[in-house]
Amino acid sequence: MKKSARIFVSLMSLLLFMICLPGVAAAEEQICPPATVEGTVCPDLQNGIVINLQESSEARSSLIKQWNCAIIDNSNGNVAISGETITYETVDYLDVQVYLQRWNGADWVDVTSRTYSNSSSSYVSGSDIISVSRGYSYRCRAIHTAQTAGSSNSTKTSVSSAIWVQ
């Protein structure tokens, strides 16, 4: 009985190793960009995505309270990009410009962009689905802007984690 238990444990360990190995090998084969240091990356485990969610450390010295952008691989040659800007109070104008970027091996290059704006509000968000070429790393970068009539302006930048589109 002891010998069969050892064989069973050995086979289960081998099976686990073989299941995990393809994921590790695939990650090493991809030409991925260096990790970003712009912002705090927070995994959203429920939806299987990673977003870059930031809150102002300057507390009330900025109009913008929270700003973020995200990218999701739809596994069909399309990605979804989104961005969001939240202010402390109602402002005259706010927007989020979301840029889809592709890693070319040396730099992040803008592929396209979308702008979502709102007036007399404290919140703006938007998203879009974009067709992409497979075999590249993509991310989104967003510029968040808020303005008041008293000429107070705030601008923040967020960057998502990179994804590999197969």
- Residue 11's Cβ-count burial label (10 Å; 0-12, 13-18, 19+) is exposed
- Residue 9's Cβ-count burial label (10 Å; 0-12, 13-18, 19+) is exposed
Instruction: Determine the straight-line distance between the first and last CA of the chain, rounded to whole angstroms.
Output: 46
Highest mean pLDDT: which range of 3-17, 50-64, 138-152: 138-152
The closest of 45, 84, 52, 33 to 161, measured between CA atoms, is 52
Cα 125 from chain centre: 15
Q: Which CATH number does the domain housing residue 116 bear?
A: 2.60.40.10
Rg (alpha carbons) of the chain, rounded to whole number = 21
Q: Based on the domain organization, do 119 and 156 belong to the same domain?
A: yes
Q: Based on the domain organization, do 15 and 87 belong to the same domain?
A: no
Q: Based on the domain organization, do 22 and 44 belong to the same domain?
A: no
pLDDT in the model for residue 151? 73
pLDDT tens per residue across span 65-94: 999 999 999 989 999 999 999 999 999 999
Q: For tokens 């703006």, what's the residue?
A: 124
Q: Based on the domain organization, do 77 and 141 belong to the same domain?
A: yes
Q: Based on the domain organization, do 25 and 83 belong to the same domain?
A: no
Q: Total structural domains in the chain?
A: 2
Alpha-carbon distance of 133 to 49, in angstroms, equals 20
Q: Based on the domain organization, do 25 and 42 belong to the same domain?
A: no
DSSP label at 74?
-
Q: Based on the domain organization, do 42 and 14 belong to the same domain?
A: no
Alpha-carbon distance of 74 to 127, in angstroms, equals 13
Q: Based on the domain organization, do 82 and 146 belong to the same domain?
A: yes
Residues in a beta bridge with 145: 95, 155
pLDDT tens per residue across span 95-135: 999 999 999 999 999 999 999 999 999 999 999 999 999 99
The closest of 141, 87, 78, 145 to 116, measured between CA atoms, is 145
Task: State pTM to two decimals.
Answer: 0.68
Enclosing domain of residue 25: 1-30
